[in-house]
Amino acid sequence: MNIWRRSNKVKRQLGLLNSLARITKRPTTKNNIDITGIPTLACICGSKMFNITVMWDEGTRTVSWYDLRQECKVCGAVTTAPTDIDGCD
């Protein structure tokens, strides 16, 4: 008897987990470039879309606060989000 043989139930569960992992796979920051420190409007890959944590103001329905850590939607590189005073001399 082979003790390393998996039951059909375990095989189905592992197959489901592998399918979910493939569907929901997103870039992780541990293997991607970290270029924080210089506020940027575009990533080094050319993308201008980022994932940013924001807090909404309920009264005005605008962004009241946002985290300066942004992650590129395409390649997952971590950069610094620009603020209102960046670029002013």
Q: Confirm if 32 and 75 have CB atoms less than 8 A apart.
A: yes
Mention every residue, 6+ apart, whose C-beta is less than 8 A from residue 70.
50, 51, 52, 78, 79, 80, 81
So what's the pLDDT on residue 55?
93
So what's the pLDDT on residue 29?
45
pLDDT tens-digit map of 23-81: 444 544 455 788 888 899 999 889 999 999 999 999 999 999 999 999 999 988 999 99
With respect to residue 37, please indicate whether it lies within any of the assigned structural domains. Answer: yes
So what's the pLDDT on residue 24?
47
| Overall domain count for the chain | 1
With respect to residue 52, please indicate whether it lies within any of the assigned structural domains. Answer: yes
Domain around 43: 28-89
With respect to residue 17, please indicate whether it lies within any of the assigned structural domains. Answer: no
